[in-house]
Amino acid sequence: MEMRPGARVWLPCEVKSGPFSNERLVKVISEAGEAVAFVPVCHLREPVESGETSVLSVVVETNDETFRAKILGHAIDTGMFLGELAGVSKVDPVAA
């Protein structure tokens, strides 16, 4: 899959309830580590209270096999995620 900086992608994540009713705590995990952030419910693929879904993110850099993306929300750590291109799906511009 060709991926360029600025592309919006869905990253698989774990979800827990956040401090506000319209916010969730998400954790995206890869072999390189994890990224944790508070995000608005509208940035989740499915608006779950807890469980698993995907979170909206923006690609910042790529190479042939990996990418680095920023979770769109308020990061607890860096909010940056490093992953393999095979584990991500692009956002359909019509659906988003």
Q: What is the pLDDT of residues 5-53, one digit of tens each?
A: 999 999 999 999 999 999 999 999 877 788 899 999 999 999 999 999 9
Q: 83 lies in a domain?
A: yes
Of 69, 44, 67, 66, the C-alpha closest to 58 is: 69
Q: 40 lies in a domain?
A: yes
DSSP conformational letter for 6: T
Residue 60: pLDDT over 90: yes
For the chain, the residue count is 96
Of 88, 45, 43, the C-alpha closest to 66 is: 88
Which band of pLDDT confidence, cut at 50, 70 and 90, is reported for residue 56? Answer: very high
Residue 76: pLDDT over 90: no
pTM of structure: 0.84
Q: 1 lies in a domain?
A: no
As a dihedral over the C-alpha atoms of residue 9, residue 13, residue 18, residue 24, rounded to 10 degrees, the angle is: 30
Query: Locate tokens 């860096």: which residue?
Result: 78
Q: 96 lies in a domain?
A: no
Beta bridge partners of 21: none
43: helix, strand or coil: helix
Domain of residue 78: give its range: 8-87
When divided into structural domains, the chain yields a total of 1
